[in-house]
Structure 1
Amino acid sequence: MPVGLPFGGPDGTMLTPARESGETRQPPGRTVSCVCHGALGELCQGPLRTGSEPDIAVVSFPVDRHSWVHFTPGTETPNRLILGEKTATAARLILEHFGPTLPPGRWSAHSDLRVGVGTATSTADIVATPRCLFRLFALPYDTGVVLGILTAIERADSVFLDEFALYLSGRHRVIRRLGTDIGFHTADITEPGTVDTTTVTDLLLEHYRRHGEGYERCLTDLLKGFASGDSAGVARAATASAALSQNVLPKATFDSMLTHRERFVADGIFVAHTGCLIGRLFPNRPGVDVESDLSAYLHSLGHQCSFAQGGYG
């Protein structure tokens, strides 16, 4: 195992690479594909104290939009870059960790997640890559290894899990799994610009120090909502988290969306706290009349709206 890689299971147990255990794996000789869902920002983002200083904790909002990675064994020389440098690093780390040799073949990829606006595009791209290699070499899927790869590459969202979770994005630590009982229909827009998460960390932590009590109440209400299966309670907490974020990385359309929330029978508002995305949470799929009226309203603000299923329930 390469020295210094933070691979390990959730309990810290180190994982044995295939080359050390004596196992051999053969590629299946056919196109292998894997996907990872993205996110519509977060239902909550704020401080969580795990030591002397607060960490950035998130409850990402999974969405039914994805990144795909495909590998087709053949006679071609393997591509070194798939979607970019980070996914190439993810592939290299998997190969170094387990020891197989990548056969000649062709990588291809696709994503319907927008870059730089808060949809976890980068994390989804990275996660789809080792998932593809797990399938290619018939290796048992190991979330601990995927988490180790993310730790080696970047601050990440929890889209490597197929459930909601309270997650420390910098420490790559799952604090609490929140299950799959909650789900919403959504309408979202993307405001102009992009946000580089790495450049706003200090700004966020200073903001959290000033508003710690508000974030504590917000997270408490959110976790109560998940524990009781109360989607309306989760939506209220998401709205509170979005309102708190207005003090540090504001959305231009937030006040208008909040004012007109009841007009469109929405339970709440969500945002990409370090992105440009904002949207509404609906308990049920809006009918065509609501979708049309909401689209016209958002168009009057200068935005094209999209509809998607968020969460799981």
Structure 2
Amino acid sequence: MRNADPCGTSRRPPVAGRRLPCCAYRRRADVADSNAAAADRRTTWSGACHGTLGELFQGPLRHAGRTEIALVSFPVDRRSWRRFTADPTAAADAVGPLPPGERSARAADMFLRHHRLAMPPGRWHARSELTVGAGMASSTADIVATLRCLFRVFDLPYDRRLVVDTLSRIERSDSVFLDEFALYLSGAHRLVRRLGTAIGFHTAYLVEPAAVDTAAVTPLLTAHYRRNEARYADCLRDLLAAFAAADPLAVAHAATRSAALSQQALPKADFETLLDHKDTFGADGMFVAHTGSVLGYLFARRPSPALKGELSAFFHSLGHPCSFARAGYG
């Protein structure tokens, strides 16, 4: 899954106005090849990426002499999909479209320029289960799904370094391109530590209506982190030790502490109420989207149908539907 070549920027972009023939998904040196084998080619490609239910930790971390924002994202089985279907009836010089969404389109353009390719004619399809602006990594998942689709369209080996480099040019992101827990620097786009796949939870959560602009709240968070650096360091130390011990209860406890610290900077209307009722429902902890509007309970064991009914009624009394999802791995 790795490619030793980093993402380069010195290669020349495609010549304006020129596009590959509709069924010749190859480098420009091969553009003149015949389309005779078109009928035997696959015509639809897909890429997907999971999102998150916020984070188990978000806080400051000293790295390379600077204080960075560090995350331990909380992956969930909710996804963004991007599909591309070729149009075999299009003219050979037809202009191929970029995918929908400003950031996904930018990512696709960078991909094409890097590989000196042009988009073939066809159409894009987009679908997502991730709420925008809620802290579910919807934007990053859209970009990663787009790039994964493009690797398949052009039959290129997947290059994670290119994905990370592309993300770094577009937005602060988390580690949804990995299939494991990780301590990750969202601004520096640096993987600090892999945390494996031994931990998983059942969750009950809600999404508050207010969307959060991550870029807009970054200065507020930075000031909060400076005032509470020691408390965040203690929380992160305990969380990493819990992952090393594969102890879900200790992970849940540390995640609750991180969520409570976040409440001091970006308060959520329902957080205190959920925290007060945590023991009533036998939850092992709480999680939040630290710069979003998702919050909920962690259960190391699957809640019974009766308990799910009680949780649903409780969340409804707060004015929210209750969602249930398996998150993490384990």
Same fold (TM over 0.5): yes
CA distance in 2, matches of 1:268, 1:23: 57
Larger Rg: 2
CA distance in 2, matches of 1:227, 1:291: 30
Distance 1:308 1:32, change over 3 A: same
> For 2:316, what is the secondary structure of its paired residue?
helix
Picking from 40, 57, 73, the partner of 2:53 is 40
Residue 90 (structure 1) aligned with residue 90 (structure 2): no
CA distance in 1, matches of 2:188, 2:143: 17
Question: Contact 2:96–2:120 (CA<8 Å) still a contact in 1?
Answer: no
Q: Give deviations 1:104-124, integer Å, cap 9, x for gaps.
A: 111111001000010000000
Instruction: Note the C-alpha offset of 1:29.
Output: 3.5
Match of 1:5 in 2: none
Once the two structures are overlaid, the 10-residue window that deviates more, 177-186 or 28-37, is 28-37
Instruction: Note the C-alpha offset of 1:22.
Output: 9.7
Picking from 61, 67, 71, the partner of 1:54 is 67
Picking from 130, 138, 160, the partner of 2:177 is 160
Q: Give deviations 1:61-96, integer Å, cap 9, x for gaps.
A: 000000000001113556634231100011111111
CA distance in 1, matches of 2:52, 2:326: 11
Question: Contact 1:78–1:106 (CA<8 Å) still a contact in 2?
Answer: no
Instruction: Note the C-alpha offset of 1:45.
Output: 0.1
> For residues 62-211 of structure 1, what are the structure 2 equivalents within 5 Å?
62-74=75-87, 75-76=89-90, 80-211=97-228
Match of 1:305 in 2: 322
CA distance in 2, matches of 1:158, 1:306: 23
Give the total of aligned pairs. Answer: 303
Instruction: Note the C-alpha offset of 1:239.
Output: 0.1
Alpha-carbon RMSD across the aligned residues, in angstroms, is: 2.3
Picking from 285, 292, 302, the partner of 1:285 is 302
Q: TM-score of the superposition, structure 2-length normalised?
A: 0.87
CA distance in 1, matches of 2:79, 2:251: 24
CA distance in 2, matches of 1:23, 1:264: 63
Distance 1:191 1:15, change over 3 A: closer
Q: Give deviations 1:211-246, integer Å, cap 9, x for gaps.
A: 111100100011011111001111000000000011
CA distance in 2, matches of 1:42, 1:148: 22
Identity, % of aligned positions: 56
Distance 1:227 1:298, change over 3 A: same
Once the two structures are overlaid, the 10-residue window that deviates more, 100-109 or 60-69, is 100-109
Question: Contact 1:54–1:205 (CA<8 Å) still a contact in 2?
Answer: no
Residue 258 (structure 1) aligned with residue 271 (structure 2): no
Question: Contact 2:97–2:123 (CA<8 Å) still a contact in 1?
Answer: no
Once the two structures are overlaid, the 10-residue window that deviates more, 47-56 or 191-200, is 47-56
Unaligned runs of 5+ in 1: 1-8
CA distance in 1, matches of 2:187, 2:77: 24
CA distance in 2, matches of 1:121, 1:15: 23
Distance 1:10 1:117, change over 3 A: farther
CA distance in 2, matches of 1:10, 1:108: 28
CA distance in 1, matches of 2:288, 2:114: 37
Unaligned runs of 5+ in 2: 13-26
Question: Contact 1:267–1:280 (CA<8 Å) still a contact in 2?
Answer: yes
CA distance in 1, matches of 2:29, 2:145: 24
Q: TM-score of the superposition, structure 1-length normalised?
A: 0.91
> For residues 210-289 of structure 1, what are the structure 2 equivalents within 5 Å?
210-289=227-306
> For 1:263, what is the secondary structure of its paired residue?
coil
CA distance in 2, matches of 1:73, 1:133: 12
